[in-house]
Amino acid sequence: MNRLSRRIRGLDPALLQLVALTVVIFGAMAVLNPQKFLRPYVFESITYVAPELGLLSIAMMLAMLTGGIDLSVIGIANLSGIVAGLFFHAYGGAHGPGLMHMGVGPVLAGIGMALGVGLVAGAINGLLVSRARITPILATIGSGQIFTGIALVLTGGPAIVGFPAAWGAIGNGRLFGVAAPLLVFLAVAALVMVLLTRTSFGIALKLIGTNMRAATFAGLRTSRTVFFSYMLSGVLASIAGIILSGRTNAAKSDYGVSYLLEAVLIAVLGGTNPAGGRGSVPGIILALLALMLLSSGLQLMRFSNFLVDFIWGAFLLLSIALNALRTRR
């Protein structure tokens, strides 16, 4: 018992604060709206919707660890889905049965293409930030416009509808009774967590974010590490794009625009320091859970989506204020 309490006290106070926040939000929603909120359906739908946002948030956190930011994640996610969709339509015909029942081979090829888009896009961001030394804000605002623009030129505007069944299973299916996207998310989150805490790459990322100069003098290859972090963030964004297009069976150049603020919010709320150096996967998962409970609770209470946006924005400012007050003491 003693050991347990010491363990709890040893935890990061930011994480404890998040656990408390999650419990409070859950409690508030359960009290305000028990018959609607406390149903398995509500929690099940969260396991399908949360993963894509969670992946974008982890991507955002990775960029923030070095003191950067990745404003192009939504563009990368949409472009990945669109490139895969165009490939499927070219390979199986736009509306034929060949599209629906496409074999595993072409679907794997589609996944490879989507991930490839994320890798190339992330590498472009990495080059712009680490080689051309453009500030991450401007580099990713610009590249995000280009990725979205390419998506727009490729599709001409409207959504690409119709993906193979196997592709849809990534976003809609179940495995062992659990939502498939959740499994993908947990697997990726575990990998990133190991990468950040157990490898020299992860340590280097945080050191660079804490003090770029010191890291350079300590002999770390800073620009190469920054480059890889943007590449990784691009790949995570493309996985989010695969899940998003799988879940909705469509891909469009301007899907999920509001995800950008939400990804930043979850990263910041999850204890990531946007100036660099601090951030963790468990923090992201807790913040994601808290905000998913909040927004599905509000939607059940028939709050308009616009008001939910207002609350997300206010939450971001509130979490900034709380973080500032905590670190000041």
Partner 1 sequence: MSATIATPARTGTLRLLLRRPEMAVALLALVSMVVIGLINPAFWDAANLFSLLRANVITGILALGVMIVMLSGGIDVSFPAFAIAAMYLTIKAMIALPYDGVLLPFIAATAIGLTLGLVNAMFVHGLRMIPLIVTLGTGTAVRGFLLGAVSPSQINIDQMPPALIAFGRTQILHVSQAGGQPAGLSAMVLVYLALAFGVHMMLRYTLIGRSIYALGGGEEAARRAGFSVRGTTFFIYGLAGALAGFAGLLHGSMIWIANPHDMVGMEIDVIAAVVLGGVSIFGGRGSVVGTMLGVFTLVMLTNSLIIMHIDTTWQRIVVGLVVIVAAGATSWRDRRRGA
Which spans of this chain sit near partner 1 (rule: CB under 8 A)?
69, 128, 132-135, 137-139, 141-150, 152-153, 156-157, 260-261, 264-265, 268, 274-275, 303-314, 316-317, 320-321, 324
Q: Pinpoint the alpha helices (H) of the chain.
A: 2-10, 13-32, 34-37, 40-65, 73-92, 97-100, 104-130, 136-155, 165-172, 180-198, 200-210, 212-217, 222-248, 259-269, 281-300, 305-328
Of 103 and 149, nearer to partner 1 (C-beta) is 149
Of 280 and 295, nearer to partner 1 (C-beta) is 295
Closest CA to 275 of 211, 202, 195: 211
For CA atoms 17, 22, 26, 28, the dihedral sign is positive
Minimum CB separation of residue 178 from partner 1 in Å reads: 32
Minimum CB separation of residue 267 from partner 1 in Å reads: 9
Q: How many residues does the chain have?
A: 329
Of 172 and 210, nearer to partner 1 (C-beta) is 210
Minimum CB separation of residue 147 from partner 1 in Å reads: 8
Of 155 and 172, nearer to partner 1 (C-beta) is 155
- Which token pair is 24? 């409070």
Closest CA to 223 of 127, 151, 290: 127
Of 25 and 79, nearer to partner 1 (C-beta) is 79
Minimum CB separation of residue 313 from partner 1 in Å reads: 3
Taking the C-alpha atoms of residue 165 and residue 53, their distance in angstroms, rounded to an integer, is: 22
Minimum CB separation of residue 56 from partner 1 in Å reads: 14
